[in-house]
Chain A
Amino acid sequence: MGIPYARAIDAWRAAAPAAPQACALAVPELLRGFHPDHRPGGMRVLRAGASAGSPCPAELADLLQADSPLEDVDIAGAPMLETDVLVIGGGGAGCVAALTAARAGARVLLATKLRIGDSNTVMAEGGIQAAVGAEDSLQRHFEDTLRAGHFAADKALVAALVSDGPDAIRWLIQEGMSFDLAEGAQRMGGTLLRKTPGGASAARLLSYRDFTGLELMRALREATLLQPGIVTLDRHPAVELLTDDRGRCAGAALQDLGRGRTVLVRSGATVLATGGSGRLHVAGFPTSNHYGATADGLVLAYRLGAPLREVDSFQYHPTGIAWPRHLEGALVSEAARSSGAALVNALGHRFVEELRPRDVVAAAILREIAEGRGVERDGCTGVFLDTPSLEQATPGILGRSLVTLTHLARRAGIDAAAEPLLVRPTLHYQNGGVAIDPACRTVVPGLLCAGEVTGGLHGRNRMMGNALLELVAFGRRAGASAAADARGERPRNVGLTHLADWRRALIVQGLPLGRKAPVIFPAYGNFDIAPARGRAA
């Protein structure tokens, strides 16, 4: 496929540092030819449900058009918990929503699949966007986000995101999160360190080292665990939502993995914050996502009648590890490219401006590989991320601010200051999701969504740093709306009535009832939710 490593490394050495080079192909042709969203035969048209008629990747369509693992008998006699607000998902968005709802006076139950905090949020590296620079503005952030998303985003959601930005940062500091300061700046009255995310017109990315998500999640997890009024349930994934006789979302059926039994939760309002779907390995790609990212929230909301949007659009992060195989898919943060690391093909040439939007850079890398200019090592193919030239230009940068990258290189068995990393695109983010309004409400009364599970904010491509801002901004909005909604009428006659309609719809379309979803864990996790009910995992 590619050019052998030994030859490629010689070419790299001879040319380093390689001169900048723009991509010769125009963006539309590049995307159409090489972005995985456009691969022939990859999409299927949804036939059942609120978004019938829309294209959707085959891997996801199978789950969206599957049957529930639950039957009426499974919930008869199951223990029932009561709460004002049920939050499903213990990542960033879930914790923010839970904190906000509890502080607004609601009793909150937070149920999560793994342990609270084990999520995509804790893995975020590069940073969080907020327009705080003097030369920057909310308007610029607004326009950059729309442009990066190819103008497919909902303007009302984007406006909500960017205008909440600065206050979201203040909120995070109040919760005890640290941020990097500009070189030599004082903690009191200094300025924040700002980097330029790909596709932005101003330096707007705030960070904490290159483990921004870890710093954020550590603070939020402690805050959530200590907040009076929040009960947390680890190892309790939601397997179905509950409805009442008026079609209102009335809570959820959780699977208690430790005891192998179903637990029902009746709630005045339910917030889905289950994150993304990288572990579906769409188009056969490796992923940067955490183990629990299996699109459960999309499946649950869709079955209840909530339309989805832009679910045919995924983000492939340009720089996942391509070699060694045991680290395949692991993320090399965009911080490396923001700091000046170049992408170099097996001929020693640069081939794209590294800070173009991610879909463009990813497609450019896939093109190099497809056209035989990739680097091949032990059967893995990628291109070089030239960390040695970066270290040479900015001595000490790897050890000082690209800590995670340096650690990753060490685990790959290489010294990033001497040898370039081998990278290729990795499935990173689900650009679309459940349609919401700026208060995080879906069309289903009582059901709210926040974070990566939602759609409409990023259009067809997300900018770096907007997902962390999203989970704070919309987590707070969802928590406030949920607390308010929970004060309304309580759900009555709670059950699974929606499933009868759903099964009828599947049958009408000739879709099989044998397939069950959500899957909870990826197939290689050797766990199947349907037969596992009634057994401890």
Chain B
Amino acid sequence: MADISTLAEPVRFVFDGHAIETGVRTSLLQAWVGAGLPLTENVGCMGQGVCGACRVLVRRAGERLACTALACETLAEPGMQVSFLDHFPASRPHAYDLRALTDSWTAIDRIDAVFPEAKNCRHCSGCDRACPKGIEVQRMVNLAAAGQALAAADLFDHCVMCNLCVAACPEHIDPAHLGQFVRRMTASLTLRPSDLIMRLHEIEEGRQPIDPDAPGANPLVAP
């Protein structure tokens, strides 16, 4: 990769067929709007890198293979070829209702019921290569298929739901949604904070009244 921070020249590259010229240290998304192109999709957080909306396919100069990236987190480099990737909503035939999942003994069986494809993983690591956040997607899928819900959930901590792994998976496993399922399931079944529970009891019993006329609820009046 060229060290672009030392370049004085404008950066020239191609984005969705448009020849774009931009300054150094400009994100792909900033270069797109800077070139006067309309931006009405493939954008959300605009640089924080958390919404996963700005999926692009990037081929760097001199490289043969293209890779996936987030346009707001990737700086434009000379000779890059970039194109936006459409958003692939996962079609999920097996909906689940977390609130109906009350028997924790059967929770792990639910992974297989909701994501039956997970056990068919071919270990092709297409998902790992697709993930712009470096998440071990394949390992998560395999852990989840083996019922190791907490370990699987932990691996998906940083997922931004860009769904690139969903698009990459030849077995239609929907890894991102499987990851989210195990994360949601473990939280809703195992998180029972005592301080929260105590406070809820107090509120129910009327022991947390609110007094709108208390001195602290009103501005100080000068004596």
Instruction: Check if B57 is an interface residue, CB within 8 A of chain A.
Output: no
CA A138 – CA B37 in complex, angstroms? 50
Contact, CB under 8 Å: B25 / A176:
no
Contact, CB under 8 Å: A177 / B187:
yes
Contact, CB under 8 Å: B180 / A326:
no
**Distance from B38 Cβ to chain A, minimum over Cβ atoms (Å):** 4
- Identify which of residues 192-206 in chain B touch chain A, using a CB-to-CB cut-off of 8 Å: 192-196, 198-200, 203
Contact, CB under 8 Å: A218 / B177:
no
Contact, CB under 8 Å: A155 / B193:
no
Give the chain A neighbours of B123 by CB distance below 8 A.
Answer: none
Contact, CB under 8 Å: A181 / B193:
yes
Give the chain A neighbours of B27 by CB distance below 8 A.
Answer: 326
Contact, CB under 8 Å: B159 / A218:
yes
Contact, CB under 8 Å: B46 / A290:
yes
Contact, CB under 8 Å: B161 / A327:
no
- Identify which of residues 489-530 in chain A touch chain B, using a CB-to-CB cut-off of 8 Å: 521, 524-527
Choose from A134, A142, A324 the contact partner of B198 (Cβ within 8 Å).
Answer: A134
CA A134 – CA B202 in complex, angstroms? 11
Contact, CB under 8 Å: B200 / A222:
no
Which of A14-22, A187-195, A474-482 makes up part of the contact surface?
Answer: A187-195
Choose from B38, B48, B191 the contact partner of A331 (Cβ within 8 Å).
Answer: B48
Give the chain A neighbours of B96 by CB distance below 8 A.
Answer: 226
Give the chain A neighbours of B95 by CB distance below 8 A.
Answer: 226, 228
Give the chain A neighbours of B67 by CB distance below 8 A.
Answer: none
Which of A68-76, A160-168, A263-271, A353-361 makes up part of the contact surface?
Answer: A160-168
CA A258 – CA B38 in complex, angstroms? 13
Contact, CB under 8 Å: A114 / B98:
no
Given A114-B53, A133-B195, A525-B39, also A159-B212 (CB < 8 A): yes
Contact, CB under 8 Å: B192 / A222:
no
Instruction: Check if B121 is an interface residue, CB within 8 A of chain A.
Output: no
For residue A137, which residue of chain B has the nearest CB? B208
Instruction: Check if B36 is an interface residue, CB within 8 A of chain A.
Output: yes
How many A-B residue pairs have C-beta atoms within 8 angstroms? Tell me: 197
Instruction: Check if B73 is an interface residue, CB within 8 A of chain A.
Output: yes
Give the chain B neighbours of A190 by CB distance below 8 A.
Answer: 193-194
**Distance from A217 Cβ to chain B, minimum over Cβ atoms (Å):** 8
Contact, CB under 8 Å: B25 / A187:
no
**Distance from B69 Cβ to chain A, minimum over Cβ atoms (Å):** 13
Contact, CB under 8 Å: B44 / A524:
no
CA A326 – CA B26 in complex, angstroms? 6
Instruction: Check if B122 is an interface residue, CB within 8 A of chain A.
Output: no
Choose from A132, A188, A524 the contact partner of B33 (Cβ within 8 Å).
Answer: A524
Give the chain A neighbours of B38 by CB distance below 8 A.
Answer: 525-527, 537
Give the chain A neighbours of B193 by CB distance below 8 A.
Answer: 132, 179, 181, 185, 189-192
**Distance from B21 Cβ to chain A, minimum over Cβ atoms (Å):** 16
**Distance from A322 Cβ to chain B, minimum over Cβ atoms (Å):** 14
Give the chain A neighbours of B184 by CB distance below 8 A.
Answer: 175-177, 219, 222-223
Instruction: Check if B47 is an interface residue, CB within 8 A of chain A.
Output: yes
**Distance from B98 Cβ to chain A, minimum over Cβ atoms (Å):** 6
Choose from A114, A139, A170, A189 the contact partner of B209 (Cβ within 8 Å).
Answer: A139
Question: 0/1 per residue, A295-328, Cβ < 8 Å to B?
Answer: 0000000000000000000000000000011110
Contact, CB under 8 Å: A521 / B40:
yes
Contact, CB under 8 Å: B203 / A163:
yes
Contact, CB under 8 Å: B188 / A174:
yes
Question: 0/1 per residue, B144-181, Cβ < 8 Å to A?
Answer: 00000000000001111100000000000000010011
CA A399 – CA B217 in complex, angstroms? 39
Instruction: Check if A41 is an interface residue, CB within 8 A of chain B.
Output: no
Instruction: Check if B218 is an interface residue, CB within 8 A of chain A.
Output: yes
Contact, CB under 8 Å: A114 / B41:
yes
A residues adjacent to B (C-beta < 8 A): 114-115, 117-119, 122-123, 130-134, 137-139, 142-143, 146-147, 151, 155, 159, 162-163, 166-167, 169-170, 173-179, 181, 185, 187-192, 209, 211, 213-214, 218-219, 221-223, 225-226, 228, 234-235, 257, 290-292, 324-327, 330-331, 403-404, 407-408, 411, 413, 521, 524-527, 537
22 contacts across the A-B interface (CB closer than 8 A) = A114-B41, A114-B43, A115-B87, A132-B195, A132-B198, A132-B199, A151-B218, A155-B212, A173-B188, A178-B186, A181-B193, A192-B196, A222-B184, A326-B27, A326-B75, A330-B47, A331-B48, A403-B158, A521-B39, A527-B40, A537-B38, A537-B40
A-B pairs, top 6 by smallest CB distance, nearest first, are A176-B184, A118-B44, A143-B216, A537-B40, A178-B187, A526-B38
Known: A218-B159, A325-B25. 4 other contacts (CB 8 A): A173-B188, A191-B195, A214-B160, A219-B180
B residues adjacent to A (C-beta < 8 A): 5, 25-27, 30, 33, 36-41, 43-51, 53, 73, 75, 87, 92, 95-99, 157-161, 177, 180-181, 183-188, 190-196, 198-200, 203, 208-212, 214, 216-219
